[in-house]
Amino acid sequence: MDRPFGLLAELTYRCPLACPYCSNPLDLAGYRDELGTAEWLRVFDEARDLGVLQCHLSGGEPLLRRDLVDLVRHATGLGLYTNLVTSAVGFSRRRAEELREAGLDHVQISIQADEPGASDRIAGTPSFARKIAAARIVKELGWPLTVNVVLHRQNIDGLADIVGLAEELRADRVELANTQYYGWALRNRAALLPTAEQLDRAEEVVRDAATRLAGRMDVVYVLPDYYERYPKPCMGGWGARQLTVAPNGDALPCPAAQTLPLPRANVREDSLERIWTDSPVFRRFRGTDWMPEPCRSCDRREIDFGGCRCQAFQLTGDAARTDPVCHLSPDHEIVVDLVQAANSGARPRVEALVPRPHRAGPS
């Protein structure tokens, strides 16, 4: 493929929650100058011309954008499949009906745990009841519903009840994705990385649920990278299938790429077509020519593409290194040490987590 099929439109980094695993940038102040309505409409036009078929509206909390209904209507009018990725705080019936009328295709709601106390504690604010109410509205209005739960040391032991909750909500899909360690999650890694014993129990729960719910609810489970033998392919390959536009207009090959020391590309300064085709940030790790050994001679080089560039940078300081998750990486001991520490018997309490700051002003 030489054209993207998915656009992640991060409409704002403002959010009413304070999740300690949030992958948004640590420096939220750098993203206050958000794209306006007309700018986002142009981005959607250019994305469709580029070949994009799916538009994922995310953040932060996209419901904080007062123009969300207008954005959905325009994207739908272009023929894009629209997916709202939301905490569901602010998802009132009136707002839901407006979004339904505008043509929104799908809703994904995040839930932090299986019961109110734990969920609200992890989210940093009372929100569980509103999430459940919103999920029921989604089904009443006839949308497909995905329940997304970011798993970590503090909630993974409740996985069976989490699946049960998704089943009770009549979700069409439940995504059980272990934390990816970027942004605030990286800062909180010691308190979030689960133990091997926890993961063994979780995999058994997932296998049983997938068998029992086959044909009724898709069960998607993503292991923590640090416990894998090989890294996951970053976004299906750097600058190959997906692109992200941040609230300030920065265009990125993946949501975490703002951490890398690469030249910025911004939709306020150039078209998506030129950014996708010619910008250094998209070209730098595209394909396989950039790869060092052992990736260059590995028969998996076009399967996992050397792994995650952001993870390589965070763990080694060099975005061009083989992802240390890979057992063939010369830096693999970094990951081995982190996993050993997580299994050492010390169990950081939830109070040790550093929450993402609340920022939920108007737009």
The secondary structure element, H or E, covering residue 219 is strand 218-222
Which residues on neighbouring strands pair with residue 173, listed in sequence order?
Answer: 146, 218
| Residue 15 known to bind ligand | yes
Q: Are 314 and 182 in contact (CB under 8 A)?
A: yes
CA–CA separation, 15 and 62 (whole Å): 8
71: closest CA among 12, 21, 154, 126?
Answer: 12
Q: What are phi and psi of 314, to 5 degrees?
A: -65, -35
The first and second tokens of residue 167, run together, are 């089943």
Residue 179 has what DSSP assignment? P
Encode burial over 79-105: b for 16+ CB neighbours within 10 A, e otherwise. ebbbbbbbbbbbbeeeebebbbebebb
| Residue 22 known to bind ligand | yes
Q: Where is the binding site, in residues?
A: 15, 19, 22
Q: Where is the binding site for [4Fe-4S] cluster, in residues?
A: 15, 19, 22
